[in-house]
Amino acid sequence: MPVPVRQAPSGTWLVDEPAVQPSGRVVAYCRVSSAEQKADLDRQVARVVQGATGLGLLVAEVVTEVGSGLNGRRRKLHRVLSDPKAAVIVVEHRGRLAAPAMRGIMTAPPGEVQDTSP
């Protein structure tokens, strides 16, 4: 067969859809609010990269930042958002990327995003 298949114990053939890689770089963005949380940042990076890998995404860059989510002064995030080659930005949860005070972030149309948050 031209696609991966497997047979279930019941005899049913299951077709495994090949993972579609995004046409651009995958960036993991991790942020904590203060320098005292540096150890938390390291653990967050590990979880985000592991989660992306579990989704079949190959992380090309990890961007870490220390700073409040309540203001827009996050230079590294702004760089990633303005990078036309960054096709996917992986975060642990939405609050790491866009706190309520962040304005002007465009979201992808429904169906183009896989939201794995609880």
| Active-site choice (10, 23, 33, 82) | 33
* 33 included as an active-site residue: yes
Angle (nearest 5°) at CA 106 between 102 and 108: 135
On whether the CB atoms of residues 74 and 67 are closer than 8 A, the answer is yes
Phi-psi region of 35 (alpha: psi -120 to 50; beta: other; left: phi over 0): alpha
Name the nearest CA neighbour of 112 among 23, 51, 34, 48: 23
Question: Which residues form the catalytic set?
Answer: 33
